[in-house]
Structure 1
Amino acid sequence: MDNIDKRNRLAENVFDYRITKENYVFISWEGKWIKTLKGQEAEKTVNKIHAAATDLEVQLILAKATGNFKRGNEKSPTSKK
C-alpha cells in the first residue's frame, strides 16, 4: 500500500460515496461529484467496499473506480477572490 499512495493523500479521506436504492454509486472527491457507477461495475465496487477492512482500502477502491486519479496533478479546491 505504501507504494500506491506515496503522498499519503488517501489518508485524508478525500473520496466519498453514496449508494442509491437503484444500486447506483455516486463518487465524489472533496465534495465534488466526479463519477456515477451503475450495473455490474457498481455491484463489483459495492462488494469491494463492503469487504474492505479499513477506510484507507475504501479510499483506494474509490480512487481506482474513478480512473485518472493517480497522476499526482489533482488540485485542492480553492476559493477565488
Structure 2
Amino acid sequence: MPRPQGFAYEERKDGSVVLTHHGRAAGVLRGARAAAFLAEAEAGDAQLVMARWTGAYRFGNERRARDHPRNQGGRIRRG
C-alpha cells in the first residue's frame, strides 16, 4: 500500500486542530482528542497519523478488492 501523502494540520488559538487533505477540510479535533493527536503526530510519521485519524488510511486497496472473486456478486470471472 502506498504511503499516505497530502495531509496537513493547523493548530488554532482555541486549542483545536484542523486536518486537511490536499487543501480540503478532513476533520476538526478539539479538547483531549486534539492533544492526543498532536502528541502522536510529533512522535511518529505525521502523514500516517493524519491518515489514520481522518479514516483515509484505506485508500489504495479498494481497486484490488473490487476485482476479487468473492466481490463479483456470485459471478465467476475467468480470463
- The runs of 4+ residues in structure 1 deviating greater than 6 Å are none
Instruction: Measure the CA separation in 2 of the matches of 1:71 and 1:58.
Output: 17
TM-score, length-normalised on structure 2? 0.67
TM-score, length-normalised on structure 1? 0.65
Tell me what 1:79 maps to: none
- Consecutive unaligned residues in structure 1, runs of 5 or more: 1-5, 74-81
Instruction: Measure the CA separation in 1 of the matches of 2:46 and 2:33.
Output: 15
The alignment of Structure 1 onto Structure 2 pairs a total of residues equal to: 61
Question: Which AA in structure 1 matches 2:42?
Answer: H
Question: Which AA in structure 2 matches 1:64?
Answer: R
- Consecutive unaligned residues in structure 2, runs of 5 or more: 63-79
RMSD of the TM alignment (CA)? 1.6
Identity within the alignment, %: 25
Larger radius of gyration: 2
